[in-house]
Amino acid sequence: MEMEEKSNPEEAGKLFLQGWNEATDDFEKFLAAYYVARHQKTVTDKLKWLETALTHALKINDDTVKSAFPALHTAIARCYEDLQDQEKAKEHTELALLFHENPSDKGPFYHGTKAALQVGDLLTAGSSSNYKSELVMNHIYFTALVNGAGLAAALAKGEGRERVYIIVPTGSFENDPNLTDKKFPGNPTRSYRSRSPLKIVGEVTEWIRQTPGELQKFREKLANNKGAIIN
């Protein structure tokens, strides 16, 4: 991936293929095949590798992998469109939409903040973004990874201590499009957002905390990020 970022696709392709050859389980094969597909020169070869990635992903009962299904089916659908197979293209487009609209994650879910709140309180959309203060957020964000919520708490605005609350969504929710499929297939950070309130049902105090140096690197990365927030 570093070779990709350095605009060296040939070397990246070789390393991804090496990853495929050294993969030892379905998860590693799913990831490697997904990236090998990106470096194929023909639609037929790209389709072969994407379908290989999907085959291995379907063998894994894991929410992180399931979150990649929309991207996989969408990419496969585009290949079939290029190959003029409209029936197959439609089939995979419909599967992509089905998985996109129905995240399978059952939690538990967490929200990180510096606000002092109580069990029973509701977290709602409409607050200013932690990363762009002039932007009022249309959604409330949460994650199924307690360490991810802890990082969000550390980066949140405010002077209070870092808090991670256990929450329950009161309405439908979706994968966070600001993170999903950006660098890795799917939603490996298990990050979600909802327009409906999140109800606080508890609080956790133990998670892996970042060092001051690591937090500074995150802050610098956020400060230098020129990409638009999908709101």
**pLDDT of the residue at 225:** 66
Mean pLDDT across 10-20: 94
**pLDDT of the residue at 101:** 64
**pLDDT of the residue at 29:** 96
**pLDDT of the residue at 180:** 86
Say which amino acid occupies 219: R
**Highest mean pLDDT (candidates 64-78, 100-114, 132-146):** 64-78
Question: Domain spans of the chain?
Answer: 2-101, 109-224
Where does the pLDDT of residue 137 fall: very low under 50, low under 70, confident under 90, or very high at 90 and above? Answer: confident
**pLDDT of the residue at 30:** 96
Distance from C-alpha of 9 to C-alpha of 3, rounded to nearest angstrom: 7
Where does the pLDDT of residue 222 fall: very low under 50, low under 70, confident under 90, or very high at 90 and above? Answer: confident
Distance from C-alpha of 56 to C-alpha of 26, rounded to nearest angstrom: 5
Distance from C-alpha of 30 to C-alpha of 81, rounded to nearest angstrom: 23
**pLDDT of the residue at 228:** 66
Contact status, residue 75 vs residue 51, Cβ threshold 8 Å: no
Alpha carbon separation from 177 to 54, 187, 196, 228 (Å, rounded): 21, 9, 17, 11
Residue 35: other Cβ atoms inside 10 A: 21
Where does the pLDDT of residue 226 fall: very low under 50, low under 70, confident under 90, or very high at 90 and above? Answer: low
Nearest to 174 by CA among 211, 151, 141: 141
Contacts of 228 (CB under 8 A, 6+ apart): none
Give the residue with greater pLDDT, 109 vs 178. 109
Distance from C-alpha of 111 to C-alpha of 152, rounded to nearest angstrom: 8
**pLDDT of the residue at 53:** 97
Q: What are the φ and ψ backbone dihedral angles of 115, each rounded to 5 degrees?
A: -80, 140
Mean pLDDT across 135-143: 88
Q: Do 2-101 and 109-224 agree at the fold level?
A: no
Distance from C-alpha of 90 to C-alpha of 88, rounded to nearest angstrom: 5
Chain CA centroid to CA 155, Å: 18
**pLDDT of the residue at 197:** 96
Coil, helix or strand at residue 50: helix
Rounded to two decimals, the pTM is 0.77
Average pLDDT, the chain: 90
Mean pLDDT across 142-150: 95
Contact status, residue 46 vs residue 40, Cβ threshold 8 Å: yes
Domain 109-224, classified CATH 3.20.170.40, yes or no: yes
Mean pLDDT across 50-59: 96
Mean pLDDT across 37-51: 96
| pLDDT tens digits, one per residue of 181-216 | 888 888 888 999 999 999 999 999 999 998 989 888
Mean pLDDT across 52-80: 93
Alpha carbon separation from 2 to 37, 49, 72, 212 (Å, rounded): 17, 21, 22, 25
Structural domain 2-101, CATH architecture: Alpha Horseshoe (1.25)
Say which amino acid occupies 93: T
